[in-house]
Chain A
Amino acid sequence: TQLLEQSPQFLSIQEGENLTVYCNSSSVFSSLQWYRQEPGEGPVLLVTVVTGGEVKKLKRLTFQFGDARKDSSLHITAAQPGDTGLYLCAGVRNSGNTPLVFGKGTRLSVIA
């Protein structure tokens, strides 16, 4: 059983469309991170959310941490081909030196 479930697994959309991807768990996390990975590269950290209900914006990307700190969402407005990649969420279950738990990711393809 995956501790962090991401949905959808795959998403293919046209340039200019909006989309939301989800990261869900039955466990509580002290913080949650989102990464984007492009082919042939390692994941790159986009954002970290810490407080339940927190919303962070990064240009056209909006990240939200659930009130109960069990889930998160990433909303992209007016998607562009440069947004194509694998989006991974990762959580810290307890504060301190515990390893991150990763979801399997959402593979996004934005077609021009």
Chain B
Amino acid sequence: KAGVTQTPRYLIKTRGQQVTLSCSPISGHRSVSWYQQTPGQGLQFLFEYFSETQRNKGNFPGRFSGRQFSNSRSEMNVSTLELGDSALYLCASSNSGGLNEQFFGPGTRLTVL
């Protein structure tokens, strides 16, 4: 089975712009979660989608949003970028079992200038 893929791998934006990141989960996985990873805060949960519906949401401002399509692929969007949004954004898919084991993609490294 192919793993989780994320595009793009690297992105440079300026403050005020918006960005869309894409994630394709492992085939058959219906749950997709997004995380932000920074050296200071570690891995922080953004949101989870399951069957095109947001099932869980972390403590991030409304500038961070996402969606999931019928084929389970997911996108996340960040509007009005701030310098502090510079981070590694990780997508993970899960087979929705009770253990919630996550299979991560390689991440998108976002730099905001």
A residues contacting B by CB (< 8 A) are 2, 31, 33, 35, 40-45, 48, 50, 88, 90, 92, 95-105
Query: Assuming the A-B contacts A88-B43, A97-B55, A99-B48, are A31 and B99 also in contact, with contact meaning beta carbons closer than 8 angstroms in the complex?
Result: yes
Q: Which segment, of B66-74, B75-83, B101-109, faces chain A?
A: B101-109
Chain B residues with CB under 8 A of A98: 56, 100
B residues contacting A by CB (< 8 A) are 4, 33, 35, 41-45, 48, 50, 55-56, 58, 90, 92, 96, 98-107
Give the CA-CA distance A35 to B42 in the complex, in Å: 13
User: Is B100 a contact of A92 with CB atoms below 8 Å?
Assistant: yes
- The interface residues of chain A, by DSSP majority, are classed as loop
Chain A residues with CB under 8 A of B99: 31, 33, 48, 50, 92
User: Is B43 a contact of A45 with CB atoms below 8 Å?
Assistant: no
User: Is A100 a contact of B106 with CB atoms below 8 Å?
Assistant: no
- A102-B35, A102-B42, A105-B43 given; name 10 further pairs at CB < 8 Å: A33-B99, A42-B4, A43-B102, A88-B42, A92-B99, A92-B100, A97-B50, A97-B96, A99-B33, A100-B100
Interface CB pairs A-B, < 8 A, 24: A2-B42, A33-B99, A35-B102, A41-B106, A42-B4, A42-B92, A42-B106, A43-B90, A43-B102, A44-B104, A48-B99, A48-B101, A50-B99, A88-B42, A98-B100, A99-B45, A99-B100, A100-B100, A100-B102, A102-B35, A102-B42, A102-B44, A104-B41, A105-B42
User: Is A102 a contact of B43 with CB atoms below 8 Å?
Assistant: yes
Q: Which residue of chain A has the shortest Cβ distance to B31 in the bound complex?
A: A97
User: Is A103 a contact of B98 with CB atoms below 8 Å?
Assistant: no
